[in-house]
Structure 1
């Protein structure tokens, strides 16, 4: 019979996604047929599944890769994509269901639990082991009623829970003991043990603290996992993890840190390249004068983030950058911003209306209810190099600069470019993960690339699994699955 195990955290961003990816790869290396699962995710970093049949959280796509299987909508049946401080799009089984405020979503959750359990049952039917990732923390007991993300799901599916704490942020003893203190008896009974993540230095220095958690909670401990230095080689899901590569010289790529930035893992292969300096521009910071290329990334709310961009003064900075001979690349929502106008007559992304674009490309975008979700293979117009990627957007963009396509998908032109070729826009996400395109594209800027991105990610997943095998009691942990 298929077994399951759930990793929950003492808080957000404690490393649950990476831990599940590592456990998935470790289980595969032990000869098991494994699937990842996250009942409910909240992220604007999404992946399009095979065949363009829907979207799931980027972390679950990485975990599927760790399992050696294609990503599927059942791996993340509920995806929340924030569109404002109060509201989010609700994606169910890969498709948009509705957009609602948090208090309204709470009323939806009882009906969504069945969709979650159905997806879980389908996954169980095709594998030996399902490794589940929680969301946020079970200590948020004010949200326990109708919970589908943590203990609500664990109890409904009768899945054992391993609690992960983040020692790097401090207070991990209180994280563990405090979580137990607020859980009710039924939820606490689902906890099979704990582990500590992100320890820097000699783990033996925490022996007394580790034993204190065991004594105060009565939970089994499965070890202390030292800091994994190669974590930056894996796609991050949380915008809190978005940062530059720390290099101080080389071809300077600056990505605008938009307030609703989406699908920002587009940047990962660029940030790993030798000879490339990647900067994520934070709010209130001017565009550096030594910038070679500005990337305006995807966003969940194009017009709202265009207003945000202007509030930072980045529109003026970009115009000056272009006058100095600099290059600009807009991806998805960033492509829409580069045009002359963004029209949302139906209020798809917020109040109906129209916003003037940056005017760097002679194209106009009209938002429409239909959403494009597709995986594509394209050929870069300027270089002829092949790229694979995916489209995930609403809106159609057209205008004279579309006559100079960024790429071709079969016989169809995609994207746009300015007459001098220094301003480009495209709807293609994931384009830099394609080695042929990335190497050719970078060579045009005088940057030599030897990296194979896919190989590096695979090697990192193997290294993560080996790291966890070395430092954690994985035999004991996997034995908890039922």
Structure 2
């Protein structure tokens, strides 16, 4: 096995910016000519991506954040980059995806007992990446300060100690109390866990950095850890896909624009980064509508997003009154797009004969498309290349349970190897599709927005994502002690 350097970024809490920092470091190191691979032992997110299962022609699921980090590393995504993915299906339970494939479901308390059993697979995936890399950049989950979850841990210190990977602790100054967060983490950690931390960095700083010099010194005085950098607020991070629903609160505050797109925030919303290409369009605003608020009448387009539990989220949509808002929207001449689970909701009926999602055997759909869906045990997970009926290129991925049939499928959204995919109403103002990434197809997006009366510019979505990562990497090169990080990583030779 090839010996690879490794370093792990853990946080004082969730949403401190670890995903963006790992992506930026991966781009920075790749641009230095290093073979770099991202790795996150355990992730919890319904924003999933498709990745290759090495040695097969099949595909599996990983967190969207690890897809982004692979893109930053300029390498194809692999299921080994995120061997354990938890996809929440309820307030207490999640589907478990192990090395890309569904391995069952567990309630939170049950998972705490199960997780230690996954450590061999986690180490196996890490070893597979280390074999092909010169350096592996690892992302923790949540915080090592959650000592109530330490037993059997595979996401933070449990993995770091098992694999011999040194840790850098990340604090978020934007939320306040960063000195206490870093010093408090030092205080509560077991001495052996604390010894894994070789330094800290502070993220999301705004203003004059000299004003926080005493703050950095204070953290070192309390912990003994050296400061490895003070990272400023990175505007380019807003142009990257959000990893999980923590970001939806800030995405709900859309600025005014000539074209408004409304997206109801379902309890188990999934893959809402499908909307990123629309959010980046000048003159267009995407508003994620939280529970308790009606769908805005000014919206010209409503997108029903993906869902991890379609029938339960359909019931939640109705309880909010969004079904009535949606019908009035259509009566006013508005457009509706359903993506994946949202596509299933737009039909006449959803059947679940195998009780995959729960105890409800079937549910009446919104009736905006003349189709019906039957949920099936075998999950479709694949990359997809397609064309629109007009011949425009489409590229994306599918992750779904279910087969959708009905008369409106005679008007497909896409053709995949000649096979019709998706369905549209007779007037074309309502359509649904299983194809994630639809709006990232630049020519198709321009054509679609033109039908809404919006003139889109010649944006290259993938190039814009590349540019954002380059900007973040350049900022990290200026504000981090990269040589010190590399020296720490040399101590992370894989001992798995």
Give the structure-1-normalised TM-score.
0.98
Instruction: Determine the structure 1 residue equivalent to 2:445.
Output: 438
* Match runs of 1:330-349 below 5 Å: 330-349=338-357
Unaligned runs of 5+ in 2: 492-496
Aligned length: 481
Paired residues of 2:59 and 2:383 also in contact (CA < 8 A)? no
Instruction: Determine the structure 2 residue equivalent to 1:271.
Output: 279
Equivalent of 1:88 in 84, 94, 97: 94
Partner SS, residue 49 of structure 1 = strand
Residue 326 of structure 1 deviates from its aligned partner by: 0.5
Partner SS, residue 470 of structure 1 = helix
Paired residues of 1:346 and 1:352 also in contact (CA < 8 A)? no
Q: Partners of 1:88 and 1:449 in 2: how far apart?
A: 40
Residue 245 of structure 1 deviates from its aligned partner by: 7.1
Residue 392 (1) aligns with residue 394 (2) = no
Instruction: Determine the structure 2 residue equivalent to 1:18.
Output: 20
Instruction: Determine the structure 2 residue equivalent to 1:406.
Output: 413
Q: Partners of 1:324 and 1:31 in 2: how far apart?
A: 55
Instruction: Determine the structure 1 residue equivalent to 2:298.
Output: 290
Instruction: Determine the structure 2 residue equivalent to 1:64.
Output: 70
Deviates more, 1:448-457 or 1:62-71: 448-457
Q: Partners of 1:34 and 1:472 in 2: how far apart?
A: 18
Q: Partners of 1:324 and 1:445 in 2: how far apart?
A: 14
* Match runs of 1:60-139 below 5 Å: 60-139=66-145
Partner SS, residue 334 of structure 1 = helix
Q: Partners of 2:284 and 2:451 in 1: how far apart?
A: 13
User: Over residues 350-379 of structure 1, what are the superposed CA-to-partner deviations in whole Å (9 max), with x where a residue is unaligned?
Assistant: 114111000001111111101000111111
* Match runs of 1:147-186 below 5 Å: 147-186=153-192
Instruction: Determine the structure 2 residue equivalent to 1:240.
Output: 246
Residue 384 of structure 1 deviates from its aligned partner by: 2.8
Equivalent of 2:39 in 37, 40, 43: 37
Q: Partners of 2:49 and 2:253 in 1: how far apart?
A: 23
User: Over residues 36-89 of structure 1, what are the superposed CA-to-partner deviations in whole Å (9 max), with x where a residue is unaligned?
Assistant: 000000000000114551010000000001110000000000000000011100
Q: Partners of 2:213 and 2:265 in 1: how far apart?
A: 40
Residue 188 (1) aligns with residue 194 (2) = yes
Q: Partners of 2:200 and 2:71 in 1: how far apart?
A: 25
Instruction: Determine the structure 1 residue equivalent to 2:376.
Output: 368
Q: Partners of 1:356 and 1:389 in 2: how far apart?
A: 29
Q: Partners of 2:433 and 2:336 in 1: how far apart?
A: 11
- Let me know the Cα RMSD of the aligned residues: 1.0
Q: Partners of 1:148 and 1:472 in 2: how far apart?
A: 27
Partner SS, residue 295 of structure 1 = strand
Q: Partners of 2:317 and 2:252 in 1: how far apart?
A: 19
Equivalent of 1:429 in 411, 429, 436: 436
Q: Partners of 1:16 and 1:404 in 2: how far apart?
A: 43
Q: Partners of 2:233 and 2:353 in 1: how far apart?
A: 49
Q: Partners of 1:257 and 1:385 in 2: how far apart?
A: 30
Equivalent of 2:211 in 205, 213, 218: 205
Partner SS, residue 98 of structure 1 = strand
Partner SS, residue 125 of structure 1 = helix
Partner SS, residue 359 of structure 2 = coil
Paired residues of 2:353 and 2:362 also in contact (CA < 8 A)? yes
Partner SS, residue 207 of structure 1 = helix
Paired residues of 1:385 and 1:440 also in contact (CA < 8 A)? no
Q: Partners of 1:446 and 1:286 in 2: how far apart?
A: 24
Q: Partners of 1:246 and 1:431 in 2: how far apart?
A: 21
User: Over residues 89-131 of structure 1, what are the superposed CA-to-partner deviations in whole Å (9 max), with x where a residue is unaligned?
Assistant: 0000000000110111122222200000000011000010000
Instruction: Determine the structure 1 residue equivalent to 2:7.
Output: 5
Q: Partners of 2:144 and 2:116 in 1: how far apart?
A: 18
Q: Partners of 2:58 and 2:269 in 1: how far apart?
A: 22
